[in-house]
Amino acid sequence: MSRLAAVTAAAVLAALVAGCGGGSSAPATSTAPTARPPGLDAAACRRLTPAVRAAIAQAGGRRRVPLRRSAQPSPRLSACIYLGPGTQVTVHLDTAYRSRRRFFYRTDEAIQFSFDDPQRRPRAVPGVGDGNVEDRGATWTPASRELLAIRGNRLLILDLYVRGAGSEASKLAAARLARRVYGLSA
């Protein structure tokens, strides 16, 4: 190695060490608790089951329908899934960076692609999301039976399908269930 290369390498190494705060070789520790983003884990999905059954009944299904429940816990995107005969309820909670932006993108996209089919056009749902946000922070799309809501940095995507249920009853049931999910994940 040439003398110039050795001097340059030493200078770069010294700059890196100085930039790191140097001095102590002890690992940095923090006494501040790390906040876990709100999510849906197996316990939360279990606690949510009575509200899911109530939503199914409110939409027009049977309250005592046998349900298989599964959880997909993750720090940034978690889910509870409930499956039964003629019934499917899926709740996704997105707490990752820019979840609010994803709410606006999904809403805008749904509007753009629904120009020829009014059942695919999202409709505002009051009382679920942030009231000071476009579409009152929550929309319902009749064709897909999907409620999309934003509250703070929590994007909720709730699909509620009950065979034979009307869109209005499903929307009201999904809105009620969404408020419960937000209460549970606060």
Q: What is the pLDDT of residues 133-177, one digit of tens each?
A: 766 799 999 999 999 999 999 999 999 999 999 999 999 999 999
In total, how many domains does the chain have?
Answer: 1
Q: Which pLDDT band holds residue 3 (cuts at 50, 70, 90)?
A: very low
Q: Is residue 33 part of a domain?
A: no
Amino acid 36: pLDDT = 53
Is residue 100 in some structural domain?
yes
Residue 87 lies in a domain: yes
Residue 163 resides in a domain: yes
Query: Domain range for residue 71?
Result: 42-184
Whether 5 maps to a domain, the answer reads no
Kindly state whether residue 136 falls inside one of the protein's structural domains.
Answer: yes
| Nearest-10 Cα torsion for 53, 106, 109, 124 | 60
